[in-house]
Structure 1
């Protein structure tokens, strides 16, 4: 609590001090640490990145990297990680709520579906060099961001165990010793309101400060007839403050603090379709709904109507503080980054996706604290560049869960006379208590040896140690508060255990891993770079933190408590070019990534027994081609286009969970053959072989493009430019279920955005239209529990429009 109080006090002090300091003293020369770009070529300036933990131009980095500048982020309305995939074809972001968010690159990263705290993400997310351990802790609005780098392919040498698929490196604007500020206001339909402001300047000759604030609100896109409210809204607030102490040219110390608060009524779904499962016909959705006289409010999902009856909330508080010290020591730079982050998650969900009181309460709030320390030394000379360092990390997550069934649950989940007795399941409650402790330490290094002016050899290594321990306890109580226990033979207790079963588990594991990579790069010409990379990486060992599968007697299978680390072999080759006097850039990369013991999500289809756990798939593979092109023939026109072909599939997964059309029937016995998919009352396999099928969430083809044209004009006695821009993206179809199902394929779609405005020095006003052609598409489809065949979904945003005014000084 003391650290949090210091954080809030510090940001408040910055906000109070800045206006007085700025007016009290003259501006002094800019002494920030931002690297100076190389001399701009006739076509365009260089883009500076820190992908290799040092400042260099993007075209000199032998790595597939997408760089999105602040102007592109703002112009396209991509104000958080969820929306970045619209301008980065190989990035996939899918979210049923902030906690259950998947950020993947090239189809790899995290398993699709419910999130477990017991394993690592495969795409590391960094803000000003500070690692965010959970994806949910990084779904804040971008605040005063300078640029975002999306590093494609394993980055384990410099970024660690959590980057088997890549990394997202977010850089914010730093304090300046020249007074500056900016403000932005946007208004649009759906009651959209967004405001951003930042101010920076000197407090003394050696201290500079910067503070930024943003707020975003928007009416929801789905109307809930039950509550008479629009849901899936936006309600976000963010604050960031920084103090820079620069006593000399060789030393800088930056203290930063940030806080983000999101309180939307979210995240609900709409009815999409019903598919046949292998349950008895009377136990499937249509029959069960008719039995209770229930009909969905609309069978057209793009009516955007729902009648879900449980409370909704996606309360998400994120924040932290960091201290960054950079000290130039001789030919190198010593950097230390000390950070603390917190994440408080307060959700409420409707887990049955219907307007019936089947699951009346589903709430699993979590609290996370993480501490990290990184020290590294960068050295640069004519022939050798290197970085060496150490990293330490400590994390604790606590979760308290409450799930409760309602009056409609018995008819939905029980058979015979029990189905007509609502008291059996009405009020049945599961109380979950769990915690995770995670500790990690690493030593790393990377060397760039310039053998000749053209040839560079770059090896890298990392040694990593992890220790994880967890605890999970589920206690079950009936409506009268009596415990439901194993060993009770009362038929009612047996029925209740079939929905919620008590369990205790405490998995623990530690592991060492060694990863390495080797990159060869060769400059065919000053503006043509070729490279080839091999990387041996890993995702660390994991534990099942949300409960374990059970044997026939209901006892947890303890051997399932630990999941093996992923073993990654990655090959990549590429070429980076600039031509037409650097007016045009074209980059091409080809890659192949193979992962053994892929950490996948497994579900058993039951409503409340165990929603999902982790297991190892034998092997997955992702391979493909990526191309990026940009051109700026003159200051009057710019354009870009990016394309990706990604072939990502399970190479070997012989005991995967079955899709809904092969689930719900009697499990096959010896010598029996499973029934055809969707056969009511059929025989279901215990598990399915999905080897050769596509990984979830990834499109084979994806494209993004954009262009802007401008013309000089004088308006209101101001010399400036009028401009018109267009941005678009396309994704081909993809699976929205861990095991591909005929019912959960999302059709491909294309989105188009337009903007037009006037800008001059320090002023920009423009109007915008996003999803201009009002395309109907889904972001996510979900299989409802119990194998009843119900498919629910989250439609993407409809057409939105509005205007933005920006000032800077």
Structure 2
């Protein structure tokens, strides 16, 4: 498809004499006047305040001075944006509480927040954790964007635009240093190769930081950063109405991370002698500290989160007069090589737990968009996406696993589980095709009617094969999905019990899930320009997130020996979204105040759940009947003079399961024998029978603070030819649940963070000192429950206070 378009464009270029060269669109994203920022949220250049979408725009200057060099740090400035990561692969981006299920990643599910890099859809959240390199701006679009943005953008989109090559020579350099050996270097150079038709840009970034958590076993510090990124671009403009932008990037991250460790205990319904306190005593074990903010742990397994990612894209724009034709062709890859201590304690329970994974994606988009402001403007296009993921999982149990996981005589015999190994082969293929369009009709001056439509087809196929083996002085076997039933049937008495314990700990399974479906998304927006600086809008959107397939192992059926094949797939999410908003500017555009209110109902919400079986340590996917998310947001900024500016953003988000009757239970309602045939479960936290499922209707979704804010100011005074300035950036979020089912033991308390900076700038030179988390706030990013219902809750603390300095210069 792109080859045909390219041949047409090249033929046209050859037939027309040289014309004056205009700067590329991406280079024109700077403010034109106070309060004017040009964005491409609707696939065309528009003033941000004119776009009837709840959105935030973070420019390169704001990114640099706040140290928000990746998505994780960006969330401190965006109250409606949530980013969670227990390691890069197990990352999720949510907007208004929706996007990716809270918990460990499952390859077979889609993300609900579209992540775009220079117009290219990035198919896995893990591949979005790279450092920002030579960024022009980041647009955070809140609410469904499915009629214009790729696929599965039911919650919103994060749209990153890098600086384009320049026909005027330029260079930028930045160096930062700080606590914990923090060093970050950034640089870019750009200029013409030929004076008026070909330009290039080369950008690079290096980030290194020592660890913040001491591992007493290896005598190393964990949570280190070791990142490198490089990006090269060529811009060819054979004539004024035609340009091509070829981009290639390479990123490698090799951090010594990621670690969660002892945070607190939650009494469960497991027998008392099989809960954490008794088990630790029996194995003569004590953690190095029971206060996570002492920042010490005692891992006994290798840990690492190396990932490599990169790709290439070719974007062509052809201005044909009344419209512009755009083609985006891209290939990207992601190579993940992890190591984890998945039992979270310094005992050889699970000595290996890793899922090395390789993803490749190809995408092609062609669209046409009308130029200028007309009575009827339009954008239409087609999109194709192909993705493959190959994962080689492995899990190995250690000498303490029998005592920790089993009961009876087998718990006393380390050989029952010592060396028990699950070797998993996981493959995934995803094809998606869509036709989309958006109109903007202005029947009378100021009134805009904007319907949008997207027809999408998704086809997914997967393969999961787990082979379980053990080879030690007492046991020697290889169990597969083909022979496990016969092996179990051949055993009797204690031998049968032991074998059942082994295959219930790591289950041999093989299945090949499939999913395919068409869906139709649409939205309808009415907006009115009350004045040139006051805009009101109302939107209804009907959107979908494609169905998923389970690729992390299935729970066992009622026989406790065979995978429950009814849980191979999950249904698509469907969403009804209502939103009203008001965008205003006053005082000659020095004061901006934007308001939005929304109500979203999600049917068949896709959740990551875990029913307590150790056979599915990563959890599996399930549908919740109905979820409701509603709330309000404001974005405000005020620049009374060139000497001072203020900003404040806030979000209220009320997110609940309205109907989830067969959900997994919280840790305090798990761990006992199942309450079958109507038997009465024991009280929460009391050993005894456990409910098979729990009705959590009416409880809150995980990971979402009801209240969240960001705020800040900067003041400056002239000194010589430059100015001295001081700035403050703060954020606050109220408490949130860190478990799919609400648990009294897994709330993360609300916290606030404060960052300060003090510096001097003159023209393109800038130097400033900074302190982040200035008051050394202790807070958790995540809490998780150890599998097996031992009652151990582990946490991942946020970064402590860091102090440093940055110097930059542009030429």
Instruction: Give the TM-score, by structure 1 length.
Output: 0.94
Aligned-partner SS, 1:59: helix
Match 1:156 to one of 146, 158, 173 = 146
Asked if the contact 2:759/2:766 (under 8 Å) is kept, the reply is: yes
Aligned to 2:44: 54
Query: What is the Cα deviation at residue 630 of structure 1?
Result: 0.2
Written as runs of structure 1 = structure 2, the 5 A alignment for 1:249-398 is 249-380=240-371, 381-398=373-390
CA contact (8 A) 1:161 1:537 kept: no
Residue pair 2:625, 2:660 contacting (<8 A) in 1 also = yes
Q: Distance in 2 between matches of 1:806 and 1:448?
A: 42
Distance 1:748 1:589 in 2: 24
Q: 1:610: how far off?
A: 4.7
Tell me, yes or no, if the aligned pair for 1:32 and 1:177 is still in contact at 8 Å: no
- Distance in 1, matches of 2:31 and 2:105, equals 46
Please tell me whether the aligned partners of residues 121 and 162 of structure 1 are also in contact (alpha carbons under 8 angstroms).
yes
Residues 37 and 46, structure 1, Cα contact 8 Å, conserved in 2: no
Partner of 1:641: 648
Unaligned runs of 5+ in 2: 1-19
The 2-side partners of 1:609 and 1:441 are apart by 32
1:617 is the counterpart of 2:608: no
Post-superposition offset of 1:37: 6.7
What is the rounded CA distance, in whole Å, between the counterparts of 1:266 and 1:621 in structure 2? 35
Per the alignment, residue 577 of structure 1 pairs with 584
Which residue matches 2:182?
192
265-274 or 700-709, larger mean C-alpha shift: 265-274
Counterpart for residue 744 of structure 1 = 746
CA contact 1:602–1:657 (8 Å) conserved in 2: yes
User: Alignment partner for residue 416 of structure 2, among 411, 420, 424?
Assistant: 424
Deviations 1:29-54 (A, max 9, x none): 8633347579844xx14111100000
Deviations 1:648-685 (A, max 9, x none): 111100001101000011211233222211002x2210
Structural mapping, 1:412-561, within 5 Å: 412-480=404-472, 482-484=477-479, 485-487=484-486, 488=488, 489=491, 490=495, 491-553=497-559, 554-561=561-568
Give the equivalent residue in structure 1 for 2:609. Answer: 602
Q: What's the secondary structure of 2:194's corresponding residue? A: coil
> Can you list the C-alpha shifts for 1:610-661, whole angstroms capped at 9, x where unaligned?
5311111101010000001001111111110001100011110000110100
Residues 511-547 of structure 1, C-alpha deviation per residue, up to 9 Å, x if partnerless? 0000100000011111100000000000011111122
Determine the C-alpha separation between the residues in 2 that align with 1:471 and 1:285.
36
Deviations 1:721-777 (A, max 9, x none): 100000000000000111111111000000000000000112100000000000100
The Cα of 1:549 is off from its aligned counterpart by 2.3
Mean alpha-carbon deviation: is it higher for 334-343 or for 595-604? 595-604
- Asked whether the 8 Å contact 1:38–1:45 carries over to 2, the reply is no
Structure 1: tracts of 5 or more residues without a match? 1-27
Which residue of 146, 163, 167 corresponds with 1:173? Answer: 163
Of 626, 633, 638, the residue aligned with 2:633 is: 626
Deviation larger for 774-783 or 602-611: 602-611
RMSD across aligned positions (CA): 1.3
Contact 2:610 2:616 in 1 (8 A): no
Q: CA deviation at 1:501?
A: 1.0
Q: CA deviation at 1:420?
A: 1.6
Q: Indicate which of 684, 687, 693 corresponds to 1:687.
A: 693
Aligned partners of 2:545 and 2:573 also within 8 Å: yes
Moved more, 365-374 or 70-79: 70-79
| Preserved CA contact (<8 Å) 1:368 1:396 | yes
What are the superposed Cα offsets for residues 152-182 of structure 1, whole Å, 9 maximum, x if unpaired? 0000100133210000000000000000010
**Separation (CA, whole Å) in 2 of partners of 1:610 and 1:290:** 24
What is the number of equivalent residue pairs in this alignment?
A: 775
List structure 1 segments (4+ residues) > 4 angstroms apart after TM superposition: 35-41
TM-score (norm. length: structure 2): 0.94
- Please, which of 790, 802, 805 is the counterpart of residue 803 of structure 1? 805
Deviation track 1:271-309 (CA, whole Å, cap 9, x = no partner) reads: 101110000000000000000000010011100000011
Residue by residue over 1:84-111, the C-alpha shift from the partner in whole angstroms, topping out at 9 and shown as x without a partner, is 1100000011110001111101111111
C-alpha distance after superposition, 1:538-590 (max 9, x if no partner): 00111111222221332222222121111100000000000011110000000
| 2:104 is the counterpart of 1:114 | yes
SS in 1 for 2:353: strand
1:671 aligns to 2:678 (yes or no) = yes
**Larger deviation: 724-733 or 29-38?**
29-38
Secondary structure at 2:61's aligned position in 1? helix
Give deviations 1:208-231, integer Å, cap 9, x for gaps.
Answer: 000100000111111000110000
Aligned mates of 1:193, 1:475 — CA distance in 2: 44
Q: Closer, same or farther in 2 for the Cα pair 1:29/1:331, shift >3 Å?
A: closer
